Amino acid sequence: GVMKSVSGLQDLEERLARALHVNQAIIVSGNSDRYSWVKKEMGRACVQQMKEKLAPKDIVAVAGGTTLAAVAEMMSPDSNLEEVSFVPARGGLGEKVEIQSNTISSTMAQKAHGKYRLLHVPDQLSDETRESLILEPGIKELLSIIRQAKMVVHGVGEAETMAARRKTKAETLGSLKDKEAAAEAFGYYFDRAGQIVHKENTVGLQLDDLTNEQFVITVAGGASKAEAITAYMKHRPSDVLITDEGAAQAILDL
Ligand code: F6P
């Protein structure tokens, strides 16, 4: 019955949280590799967490990807989200416009009746361009807003999948392979030990900017992401991991 399956997931949540050293794991049933509605359920669970943990006027930095797009899709107004500002965590990462963090920020704001700010920077910056861009007053201001975020909500991808999706150049692909990159989050690539092996050259939130003060929610599911989620959590366990049964079982079986 319902009670039994609920307590079954609860047990899985506790085991997963212990295995990954996260404060809390929330598991929705199913495997999002197989059914897209599972991603929406993760989105729903994430929206609920955001409503519980945010307060009016807070700033929340959001990443891109299809999982975050599902979070945006499930967003709705709430008294705790009044005047909350949604900002993209990092600038251009080579994603299609529908799943860029700018798009996700504005959709979330629209659905939550909150506010948003956009970060307009091209993908694949040279060091020179990046350094002059961050001095532009508009960008500088936005970067300081991003650093004031109370909450960061982001996805995790498999390194190879993400590198291919971004049409990463052959040279970088080779180096990711040599360094055995397993996971990607915020434009950073990690090996299985959770060490950073590559970083995309864009502006915005740097992993070093994350302190214990920010509340970090990771949303990632599907059995195919088991290694990636495990690798990323070795780098920095999140406050809340929202995932699905498919990923949770596969992680515990690793
Ligand atoms: O490119 C943005 C991003 O958030 C990556 O950091 C992450 O690896 C990926 O999207 C996750 O995408 P998806 O939710 O589609 O698997």
The closest residue, in CA terms, to atom 2 on ligand 1 is 64
The response to whether residue 65 sits with its C-beta less than 6 Å from ligand 1 reads yes
Q: How far, in Å, is the centroid of ligand 1 from the Cα of 7?
A: 30
Cα separation, 131 vs 121, in Å, equals 12
Per-residue pLDDT of the chain (254 residues; tens, 9 = 90+): 455 555 679 999 999 999 999 999 999 999 999 999 999 999 999 999 999 999 999 999 999 999 999 999 999 999 999 999 999 999 999 999 999 999 999 999 999 999 999 999 988 899 999 999 999 999 999 999 999 999 999 999 999 999 999 999 999 999 999 999 999 999 999 999 999 999 999 999 999 889 889 999 999 999 999 999 999 999 999 999 999 999 999 999 99
Q: How far, in Å, is the centroid of ligand 1 from the Cα of 2?
A: 32
The closest residue, in CA terms, to atom 5 on ligand 1 is 185
Query: What is the pTM for the complete model shown?
Result: 0.96
ipTM beyond cut 0.95: yes
Gap between the terminal Cα atoms of the chain:
29
β-bridge partners, 243: 27
- Residue 96 tokens, joined: 């299609």
What residues contact 106, with CB distance under 8 A and at least 6 apart? 86, 116, 118
Strands (E) across 40-180 are located at: 59-62, 85-88, 115-116, 151-154, 157-158
The response to whether residue 204 sits with its C-beta less than 6 Å from ligand 1 reads no
